[in-house]
Structure 1
Amino acid sequence: MPKTEKDDPRVGYWLQNKPQKTKVVLIGFPSDEGVRRNGGREGASEAPDKIRQELYKMTPDAEETTLFIDLIEHTTDVGDLKTSGNLEEDQQKLGNIVAGYLEQGVIPIILGGGHETAYGHFSGYAEANLKTSIFNLDAHTDVRPLNNGKAHSGSPFRQALEHETSVETYLVAGLQPYSVARSHLKFIDEHGGDYLFRDETNITSISGFFHRHESERLMVTFDMDVVDQSQAPGVSAPCANGIAADLWLTAAYLAGRNEQVTSFDLSEFNPRYDRDSQTAKLAALTIWHFLLGLSQRS
C-alpha cells in the first residue's frame, strides 16, 4: 500500500481515490494477442499491474509539489479493461472507453499491453468523431499490413491511416534503419506523414514534431522498444542501439506540457523479461514525467 503520511505521501494515495472532478484517468489494457500474431515475445499483458506497483510508490514532484498534487488530486486509476483475447473486440471496447473520456475533456493515459493498444487508443477518436494527429516514439513504423486480415502489434498506424475518419498527420521518431522496410516509409510518405531515424531523434527534433502539426489534438503513443535494451531489457522486441532513457523521459515530460496532447499510451513493456524491475521502474517513471508535464500546463 502507498504511504499516506503527511511528510512522505505517495502517488498511489491519490490515484486510488475517486475525485469529484476528474481531469486524468489511467486505464490498463492487458493485451498481447497482437504481439503473438506478429511473432513477438508474449508477456506485455502483465504490464499494467507492474507499472502501477512502481508508480504508486513514487512521491509527488519535490520541486513543484503543489502543482503536481493539484493534478493527481483530479486523477484516478479506473483499473484494467477486461480483455477477452478477441483483439478486435478488445480494441473496440478500449475505443469506446477512450471516446467517453475525450468527449468529457478528460485525458486518458493507457497502460499497455502490446502496441496493438495504439489502435484501440485511436479508435476512441474515431468513435467520438474527433480528428487527431498521432505522434509515435518507436523503433518501428508499425504500419505493416494485416496478417490474413487480422490486426496485430505491427499494424496499428496503417489501420489508423486507412480509417474512414482520417488521421491528420502521423509522426514517428526513433526509427532503427535496420528494422524498417522501405515500403513502410513510402506508405507514410503517401499518407502525408513524417519520420525520424534514431540518429535524428533528440530533444530539439521531438519538440519540433510536437509543434509542427495543425491539428487541435495530438494522440501520443510511446513504445518501450525504442529505448536501449541496457536500460529497458523487459520489452517485446529489445533494441541493441536504442535511445537513452533520459531522452525518453524528457519526451514524456514534453508531451505532458504540450496543450495539444489529449491522450497518451505506453506499450510493449514485457515483465517476463525484465531485470530487477528495471523496465517496470522506467515505465512508471514515464507516466510520472507525463503527469509532471500535465501539471505544469499554463
Structure 2
Amino acid sequence: MNELRHLKPAGKAIFHDRHTTKAKELLEDWEPGKERAFAVVGVPLSKPSISHSGASFAPDTIRAALQSYTTYAGESGMELTDGILDFGDIYMNPTDVIGNQDRIVEGLSDVFATDAAKNWMLLGGDHSISYASIKAFAEKQTVGVIQFDAHHDLRNTADGGPTNGTPFRRLLEDEIIDGEHLVQMGIRDFMNAAAYADYAMEHGVGVYTMGDVDAVGVTELLQREINRLAEKVDVIYLSIDMDVLDQAYAPGCPAIGPGGMDSKTLLDGVLFAAKQEKVRAMDVVEIDPTIDFRNMTSRVAAYVMLQFMKGKTEKGL
C-alpha cells in the first residue's frame, strides 16, 4: 500500500473554509518586476534595547498573526484583495549592532529603490530601527514623521550609544528630519525625563500627551498635524511603538505601563492617517513575543497593518 490516507504535511493542517480568505494569504514573495499597492519588510533587530527584549522575533510573529483575521471588512463591505509583497527580513549579525543598523539603511534603500509598492510596512524589531528606516526613506524626499509612543525616544547617545531610546534624537542631530516635521502622539507621565521634554520643545517637535489625546481625540489631532505636515514635506511616515498602548492591551511590550491608549484608539488613528495621501510608510516596533500573552500584542500589530491597508484601499491610495 503506497498511499497514506488522512494525512497532511506537518504545520499545514489548518482548517479551511472555502468562503473565507485569511489575511496571511495576501503575503506573496517579492520578485523583480512585481508591483503591488503594499509591501512588507521585517527588521528583526533588538540588541540595542535598553532593557531585555526579544523584539527580533516579532516580524515572524506578526506575519503569523495575520492568520487570525480575514480579508473582509464588514463595516464597509470591502474585501482586501491586493497582495502584500513580502521582501523577507533584513539580515542581522548576532554581535554587530552598529553594522546591523548600517545594513538596515542599505537594505531598505535597495528595497525602496525597487518602487515595487506605493505603501510600505516595516516590522521591527525595537525602536532603534526607525532611525535607519527613516534615513533610507528620506534619501530622495522630505519626510514628516508621526510617532505613536509613550516615550520621546530623544535620549542622548553618550549614555549607551544608539539604543532604542535614541532614534529621533539621532534623526534630528543628523538633519535627516526637521524638528517641526516630527509629531509625537500619546506621550505619558512618568515615562520620560524633563531634559527630553525640553529638548523636544527646543527643537519644535509637536508633542501630544495622553491627556491631549483624551481631551481632543486622536483623529482631530492627526487631522491638524497631517494638514500642517502636508504643506511642508513630500511624504509622511508613521512610527507605531506598541507601548503607546496601555499595558492591558499590549502585554508583549518590554516597557509596559498603565495610562496608555486602548487598542481601538490606536486603530482609529492608523485608519484615519492611512486615508491621507501623503502617508506612505509605517513601522510597527517594540513587541517581544517571548513575554506576550496569547500573542495579544502581535495580533494588535497585525490589525494595525490591516487598518493601514483598509484606509489606503478605501481611498484608492
TM-score, normalised to structure 1, is: 0.90
Which protein is bigger by CA-based radius of gyration? 2
SS of the counterpart of 1:265?
strand
SS of the counterpart of 1:272?
coil
Is the 1:4–1:10 Cα contact (8 Å) retained in structure 2?
Answer: no
Q: Structure 2 vs 1, CA of residues 258 and 96 (structure 1 numbering), >3 Å: closer, same or farther?
A: farther
Aligned residue number for residue 206 of structure 1: 222
TM-score, normalised to structure 2, is: 0.84
Residue 29 of structure 1 pairs with residue 43 of structure 2 = yes
- Where does 1:41-52 land on structure 2 (aligned, <5 Å)? 41-52=52-63
- Where does 1:249-288 land on structure 2 (aligned, <5 Å)? 249-288=267-306
SS of the counterpart of 1:91?
helix
- Where does 1:82-231 land on structure 2 (aligned, <5 Å)? 82-84=91-93, 85-103=95-113, 104=115, 106-126=118-138, 128-148=139-159, 150-167=161-178, 169-201=181-213, 202-203=217-218, 204-213=220-229, 214-231=232-249
Shift of 1:107: 2.4
Shift of 1:65: 6.0
Aligned residue number for residue 79 of structure 1: 88
CA RMSD of aligned residues (A): 2.2
Stretches of structure 1 lacking an aligned partner (at least 5 in a row)? none
Could you tell me how far apart the structure 1 residues matched to 2:42 and 2:241 are? 15
Shift of 1:182: 2.0
1:121-179 CA-partner distances (Å, limit 9, x unpaired): 112134x2322111100000001011456200000000001114343611101001211
Is the 2:141–2:234 Cα contact (8 Å) retained in structure 1?
Answer: no
SS of the counterpart of 1:23?
strand
Stretches of structure 2 lacking an aligned partner (at least 5 in a row)? 1-11
Residue 244 of structure 1 pairs with residue 282 of structure 2 = no
Pairs aligned (count): 291
Q: Which moved more, 1:90-99 or 1:26-35?
A: 90-99
Is the 2:135–2:176 Cα contact (8 Å) retained in structure 1?
Answer: no
Q: Structure 2 vs 1, CA of residues 65 and 48 (structure 1 numbering), >3 Å: closer, same or farther?
A: farther
Q: Structure 2 vs 1, CA of residues 18 and 102 (structure 1 numbering), >3 Å: closer, same or farther?
A: closer
Q: Structure 2 vs 1, CA of residues 61 and 169 (structure 1 numbering), >3 Å: closer, same or farther?
A: same
Which structure has more helix as a fraction of its residues? 1
Q: Structure 2 vs 1, CA of residues 98 and 259 (structure 1 numbering), >3 Å: closer, same or farther?
A: farther
1:185-237 CA-partner distances (Å, limit 9, x unpaired): 22222222110111111322233223221212111100011101111111010
Aligned residue number for residue 232 of structure 1: 250
Shift of 1:252: 1.6
Aligned residue number for residue 290 of structure 1: 308
Aligned residue number for residue 56 of structure 1: 67
SS of the counterpart of 2:290?
helix
Shift of 1:76: 1.2
Could you tell me how far apart the structure 2 residues matched to 1:107 and 1:89 are? 27
